[in-house]
A and B are shown apart, each in its own frame.
Chain A
Amino acid sequence: MYTLSSKLKLFSIILMVVGLLGLIYGFIAAPATIDEVREMVAHDDHGEVVEMPLTGQTEDEIEDDAQGFDFVPSEHQVETERTDEEKHAMAEDAELVHLEHLLHQLQNKPWAALYVSAFFFFMIALGVLAFYAVQYAAQAGWSPVLFRVMEGITSYLLPGSIIMFILLALSGFHINHLFVWMDPDVVAHDEIIQNKSGFLNVPFFLIRAAIYIAGWNIFRYFMRRNSLKQDDATDNFWYKKNFKLAAGFLVFFIVTESMMSWDWIMSLDPHWFSTLFGWYVFSSMFVSGITVIALVTIYLKSRGFLPLVNDSHIHDLAKFMFGISIFWTYLWFSQFMLIWYSNIPEEVTYFVARIEDYGLVFFGMVALNFIFPLLLLMNSDFKRVNWFVVMTGIIILVGHYLDVFVMVMPATVGESWFIGVPELSALAFFAGLFIFVVFSSLTKAPLMAKRNPFMKESEHYHY
């Protein structure tokens, strides 16, 4: 039996408290009125000058201006005193519109930070559950010694998905403005969203979310229960039951996961759509999940709790980390390249916003998620070196946090993003909660599943 060390418990509680305090600060620091935003902009040390478009001047022309091309009004636009005054009034209006826009972004910031971290840790638990089901359905012979570790990690699914549901419900009740299609004023002037309102409306959205969450958690509950019952069984009845449940879960999962990614992430940009988005989100959660399995396994092994786990098991997990990282890159590139190549305005704005405002994060996370695992885990010997796997695992996790970050942030806070107090606090809070829930759950059952028909093979697994 594993016992939660008091150090780890204290560590996770400190993370949660620090994170919570930071989050509270983040919500307090967010501006409440336009005047506050005006003040913030005025006191901005960077002294960034926000250029307002003049009458008849488009944003492109402002950019040209900055590059030395002067905006010359055509001869038809003769400036009289009257239009001059009007222009002045319109510029003030435009400034007001701009400040209001900024206000919404800054108000969204702590919410979006919370949302990104909540989703990131929730998706790890769901990815592990999918991996666990795959191992059952494929009757894998190497992994049964890791089943209890996986079950422990999936225990975060329940709290994590409930937190996600609460966040979605708060958006639905207009506590925040993360989802622009939930704002009736916006929808009233937006025909594209109006045409999607058959799918994107708050009651249906919340009902769908409740169905996904209930389904995943019910499958998780029964699979864990059967796995524990198999320990004391005299035949393989509960194992067979789990095999069928795993196959059923995988069918349910791939449908609901895909829809979940449209609902919870893609609908943040309701004007945009991509058909392989569900797969893309899936690969991200799958690789983060496998990485966390590897990290927790290595941690427990180093503490002497998993005597039967050998280097070959770590090697296999590292192979999965390597392979699924490349799979993720394949999907990322397929989505990016198809849209970049055809350059259809309604689709390409998604990437324009990301490349212009998030350039470093957007391409940096591709380097973290692709080049690092590719080069660090290609060598067969490196995959057996535990600290190497841990190092790569941490890089992969940081990369996939940033992946979720660039999926969510451009639609919610736009160019006002920063990885500061609210973002790091949310990350710390959920990391603490995750560690606490996962390691508490690991203490509740023996770390070796008994009587699994593949257990013997798994114990002697050797690659």
Chain B
Amino acid sequence: MAILVYAEHDNAELKKATLSTVTAATQMGDDVHVLVAGSGCKPVAEQAAKVAGVSKVICVDSPAYEYQLAENVSLLVKDLAGDYSHIVAPATTNGKNFMPRVAALLDVSMITDVMQVIDANTFERPIYAGNALATVKTSEDKVLVTVRTTAFDAAAAEGGSASIEELDNAQDAGKSSFVGEELAKSDRPELTSAEIVVSGGRALANGENFTKYIEPLADKLGAAIGASRAAVDAGYVPNDMQVGQTGKIVAPSLYIAAGISGAIQHLAGMKDSKVIVAINNDPEAPIATVADYFLEADLFDALPELTSKL
């Protein structure tokens, strides 16, 4: 049977998280279909049809799916589930929100945050904040998983030529309604998909120092900006910039941690980065145990110097 991938998008653009999810899905079976549910989401379906490895795109366009409310989306996915052996979604807040709901509606268990596909029924996933890896095998008829997008390469966004099927299936469960949203504006690359991430911690001391010291370096490198929980809790930066077990999980090729001690909760969010650089005036900071390059220095001197010399 085929595999259904739930597309992450904002009704205009297909998110990169979807491409990584397609890669994970192709490791579970051959026939990969993508479900694009949204409102005015046809451009997204067209982008999804071009993704390499996708054989069919199902586009469901209805105001009921505009904000991806879990109550509505889960009913739609449940309706489609009959034709699929696997249902796969990215482990974004959206995927984590509706997928367990689908699982319960189908009365099956599910697997969160898969990092490796061992076979169609066996997966590796992190537990205890990434301090252990569990190999999990499921014998459910329907395999439901969310995948950690940073653990899979993105499928090519061009080269595919899937057919698009428009489906009329508007489900409004009437159990929730959208009131409003506040999205942080940023011109920088998205944190979870950026090649380089520059993160600041409590040592930055205030929000202005993020602007003064972290931003110029990030701009120079074309990097996304992250933060430790301490910096977020202290109000230096908004919480969608938090990297860690309870924030975003990132795995860029270069992660620069400035003034971050490296608590377990933070390491869980970034220790799969290819190269980690730590700039810290405390050589005993736990971040030193995971850093490839450790510069013992005052970040208020080192960051401007680094920015000017690059």
A and B: real partners? no
